[in-house]
Chain A
Amino acid sequence: MSRFDKKGRSDVDPPSSVSYRDRAAYARDAQLASLASSGDDSAFTTLVTRFQPAVFRWALMFARDPDEAEDITQEVFVRTYREIGTYRSDGSLEAWLYRITRRAAIQMRRTRRRRDRLVLSPGAQPLRDVYTTDPGGRVDRERAASVIRELFSELPRRQREIFDLVDLQGFSPSEAAERTGMKPVSVRANLFKARKAIREGLLVTHPSYRELSR
């Protein structure tokens, strides 16, 4: 999924210009969605198995930590189950799921903010780090969380999302525009701002380049 294994993906991606492989994938996804919408739970399970890693990966970009990303992922599939009947097979199922992920994440963030405002005492907050099993997984999660914080802590949500989609996941700006529902011009503007912020941050942590950039 990263840009390092998606090189060569075309910038323009109308349905008529997609490769045979992509078309086959579209058809398979459409069939899966059709079966799931007709009440076939095994098809829905297949759909979840196929897209859960990608949805989790997207959710990581919107979440504060991997636990929250798990919650978002669960919510996305609840909505997918409810709304699968509205999926139109002329579009990519992946892009459709991305839009659901985005909506769910934004909504969960709003809900979380409201709840945070309601919580008066710090003692009322639940403990978050409750892993007692899989220490390796926990280390990975903490590492991912620190990467997210380190890279994106200063970025606004939209810039972070665009930077992740284009520079880390390897989508073209037009694909990112299609997924986020933004105009390609806005995508590029956000991308430039995000890159500038991230690379300036890097210069701050690297004194020799700071001198160089004067």
Chain B
Amino acid sequence: MTCEECLSELATGSLREMPSDSDVMLHCATCPDCSRLTTLLRDREYNAANVLNNLPPMSAPITVAETSVRTAHRRRVGRVVVMLSGAALVVTIWIAAATTIVPALRHADAGTGSDLRTETIPLRCLSPQQAADIVKPYVRSRGSTYYVPTSGISAITVRGNASEVAKSRNLIAVFEEDPAAACRNIPAMVRKAVEDQVSRDAAPVIAGQATTPPKK
């Protein structure tokens, strides 16, 4: 065995698994360099093991045992406290949710949605646009609206919650009697033409006179 082979064996081999008749040890017996290296390795590991093994712990075992028992009890109590705190937190959150958040959500749902109703209100005198002007300020909740028909039908359709629809219906009923409602509020030109026609129809006609158109 050469020194290089010996070194490569020593680099990863176990010193205690090398018996005295092994190739490495036989080589070391004749080679002073490898022998010194092997001895140094062995001494170094022996010293390390010795120092580590002979270093006693500073704390007395009884103290360690007592501290362990005390600490373990304290941690157990701590864990119980943490669990109880967690449970209390969960209960608090649940109560808060049940008393504030869920009702608020329900209220919001009521606003958005499910109990919206639609009603078409027939108009006798008001025009659909007039009726829309009346109900517009009262149909304000989420999802509420009104529809003005474009085909000339005299009605208005209101979509909203019960109170909004009822309010719209009542207001329209009240304003149907208003003097300014569409059926009573005729524009001036139309009114003049109607009055002229009425006055002409009402003038006395002498018998035998031909009715001639007025001269220009």
Which A residues form the contact surface with B (CB < 8 A)?
A: 1-4, 7, 41, 44-45, 47-49, 52-53, 56-57, 60-61, 66, 69-70, 73-74, 77-78, 80-82, 134, 137, 140-141, 143-144, 147-148, 151, 164, 166-170, 192, 195-196, 199-200, 202, 206, 208-209, 212-213
The interface residues of chain A, by DSSP majority, are classed as helix
Instruction: Tell me whether B152 is interfacial, beta carbon within 8 Å.
Output: no
**Residues on A with beta carbons closer than 8 Å to the beta carbon of B7:** 209, 212-213
| Size category of the binding interface on chain B | 35 or more
Cβ contact within 8 Å between A44 and B65: yes
Cβ contact within 8 Å between B52 and A60: yes
Cβ contact within 8 Å between A209 and B65: no
Interchain CA distance A66-B58 in the complex, whole Å? 9
Q: List 29 A-B contacts (CB under 8 A).
A: A2-B53, A44-B68, A48-B62, A53-B56, A60-B52, A60-B55, A66-B55, A70-B58, A73-B59, A77-B68, A78-B68, A78-B72, A81-B72, A82-B76, A147-B48, A151-B48, A166-B14, A168-B48, A169-B49, A170-B16, A195-B11, A195-B13, A196-B12, A199-B11, A199-B41, A202-B40, A202-B41, A209-B37, A213-B7
CB distance from B12 to the nearest CB of A (A): 4
CB distance from A46 to the nearest CB of B (A): 9
Cβ contact within 8 Å between B33 and A168: no
Please encode chain B, from 14 to 48, with 1 for each CB lying within 8 Å of some chain A CB and 0 for all others: 11100000000000000001101100110011111
Residue of B nearest to A166 (CB): B14
The interface residues of chain B, by DSSP majority, are classed as helix
**Residues on A with beta carbons closer than 8 Å to the beta carbon of B4:** 213
Interchain CA distance A168-B49 in the complex, whole Å? 5
CB distance from B160 to the nearest CB of A (A): 60
Interchain CA distance A80-B54 in the complex, whole Å? 24
- Which one of A4, A47, A48, A200 lies within 8 Å of B49 (CB-CB)? A4
**Residues on A with beta carbons closer than 8 Å to the beta carbon of B11:** 195-196, 199-200
